[in-house]
Chains A and B, each alone.
Chain A
């Protein structure tokens, strides 16, 4: 089992450019999440999904969009990148419907917006 994987690992963008971060999990988890991690701010939830075809906003959704077309994949898009979106992005998955609340995290994507 690969667990949760994220692509790419690093990326540098110029202000205004767009990109998509890909998250994949092979644990058949229903729930998936996108977080950003910034110094002194902890982990903040951007968007989440409770199942294939569903998405919802988290704490800091502005400037991001997501899609969950397949159960195993969760995509995070930045339509017009801004320097404030420089961060480390983590994807996670869990199976709370099975009484399992542990979130499994990917290795992260370090994004720099110039």
Chain B
């Protein structure tokens, strides 16, 4: 059972375009929503994160949009660059227990010149 559903699995965007990756969740106990970026041959690294009391967070060209009522959140990459080519994982942290983080299946982004 996939608790965090991520789409699309792969995405090709032209340089300068907008990349959009979507995630949806069901568990209302999630209280922290990070996005991780993974380059080939490397481990994932935190890119940007948001809490559910905020509808949008922007860091440079990267923006998270969060819709609490719809239980959806998305990553927008503005002015996409070839250096953004990587796999992106959305995730959600549980507020209880050991604060487990559940990851989406990942989106492989390719930005073509």
Contacts and interface: CB of A to CB of B under 8 A. Distances in A.
A105 B44 contact: yes
Contacts of A108: 41-43
Interface in A89-103: 90, 92, 96, 101-103
Contact of A45 (B6, B89, B100, B106): B100
B13 interface: no
Interface residues of B, number: 22
Contacts of A31: 98
Contact of A90 (B6, B44, B93, B99): B44
* Interface size range of chain A in the complex: 20 to 34
Contacts of A77: none
A41 B98 contact: no
B34 to A, nearest CB: 7
Contacts of A106: 43
Interface of B: 6, 9, 32, 34, 36, 41-46, 49, 89, 93, 98-101, 103-106
19 contacts: A31-B98, A42-B6, A42-B104, A43-B89, A48-B98, A50-B98, A90-B43, A96-B98, A101-B32, A102-B34, A102-B49, A103-B44, A103-B46, A103-B101, A104-B45, A105-B45, A107-B42, A107-B43, A108-B42
Interface of A: 4, 31, 40-45, 48, 50, 56, 90, 92, 96, 101-108
